[in-house]
Amino acid sequence: MGSASGFYSNEGFELDPKWLVDPRHLFVGPKIGEGAHAKVYEGKYRNQTVAIKIIKRGESPEEIAKRDSRFAREIAMLSKVQHKNLVKFIGACKEPMMVIVTELLLGGTLRKYLVSLRPKRLDIRLAVAFALDIARAMECLHSHGIIHRDLKPENLILSEDHKTVKLADFGLAREESLTEMMTAETGTYRWMAPELYSTVTLRHGEKKHYNHKVDAYSFAIVLWELILNKLPFEGMSNLQAAYAAAFKNLRPSAEDLPGELGLIVTSCWKEDPNERPNFTEIIQMLLRYLSTVSPPQIVPPPVRRVFSSENVVFSPDSPGTCSLMNVRDKDGSGQNVHAADTSEKETKGSFFFCCS
């Protein structure tokens, strides 16, 4: 498993041994999230409560290769950069399944939090405090030459007290270089910068130039949401919103934004990327605004706990054990069952299944 270079390597997958997760000590509990590429579970690793992201393998050779690449890229970024506003990376493994283990934040996603408050808005001081957390995370990434490319409320996670935001999901993150050309099929349409599109529909996998300023545009849309607690481009589909932003230079209305915050938002979503501020400048602008508002203690609105397990007792031997080591098990009909799907069935009868 090791190598002379000190890195764990398996078919192109390399990871410093200190980040290598031993699946025998991984207990996977209830599913707490799911995306196009992965499912996320609450669980335990060596008696630490964690979030466990299980990457979907894909079916075709092309899908499998793409997922492998995304997985390797994400763990490379997570292991390279640490910051208080980035979700803490604990480790990963590729066999028997592609798994990424991070700290578990109990506040849920910013998206769910904002939706739970509607039609109410966040206190403006709390909204700006969240924006500063996000901007500081992005400043850290950019200082390491990393573009996130998928900044949106679904990838921003709250602490249990709803006072801190951390950035997650580095599956689309890339290292930036002056000569690199990157695929334009990145991010989520509603939050994507216009330069990710072309006046001609890009062929699958076609390359296009852009830089770290795509994250500033996405930040503007997120900040707009934090202030107004509305869905940007409401009434449009994701594709319609992308088309309107790219080809009609349309943006969400800035009329209801407080003056200085409105200037920050509109500067960040300018059509010309070179005219957008960097995150060091964004942080300074946010701090200047924060100094102009009264400083009473910020108390986030109460919301119910997002996850189901509270004060759970974990037994040494997980009941109803189902091993991730056996990637394919047989169900009653003799059909192959993927371990991630089996986990959901197991948790109905017992809270955790063990990777042993």
pLDDT of 72 higher than 60: yes
3-state SS of 160-208 is CCCCCEEECCCCCCEECCCCCCEECCCCCHHHCCHHHCCCCCCCCCCEE
pLDDT score recorded for residue 304: 55
Q: Residue 190's pLDDT is what? A: 85
Task: Tell me the pTM.
Answer: 0.74
Q: Percentage of the chain surpassing pLDDT 70?
A: 69
* 230 known ligand binder: no
Question: Which pair of tokens denotes residue 79?
Answer: 């292991």
Q: Is the pLDDT of residue 7 over 70?
A: no
The verdict on whether 272 is a catalytic residue reads no
Of the candidate ranges 49-58, 111-120, 237-246, 338-347, the one whose mean pLDDT is the lowest: 338-347
Cis amide bond preceding 273, omega within 30:
no
Question: Which of helix, strand or coil describes residue 8?
Answer: strand
| Predicted confidence (pLDDT) per residue in 276-286, tens digit | 999 999 999 99
Q: What share of the chain is helix, strand, coil (3-state, %, to 5)?
A: 35, 20, 45
The CATH number of 110-290 is which of 1.10.510.10, 3.40.366.10, 3.40.1080.10, 3.20.20.30?
1.10.510.10
Most confident residue range from 33-37, 126-130, 192-196: 126-130
Given 68, 150, 169, 215, the catalytic residue: 150
Residue 10 pLDDT greater than 60, yes or no = no
**How many whole angstroms separate alpha carbon 1 and alpha carbon 16?**
11
Return the CATH architecture of domain 8-106+308-355: 2-Layer Sandwich (3.30)
Beta partners for residue 49, in sequence order: 44
Give 120's pLDDT tier (boundaries 50, 70, 90): very high
- Domain segments of the chain: what residues? 8-106+308-355, 110-290
* pLDDT range class, residue 128, cuts 50, 70, 90: very high
Q: How far apart are CA 155 and CA 262, in angstroms?
A: 23
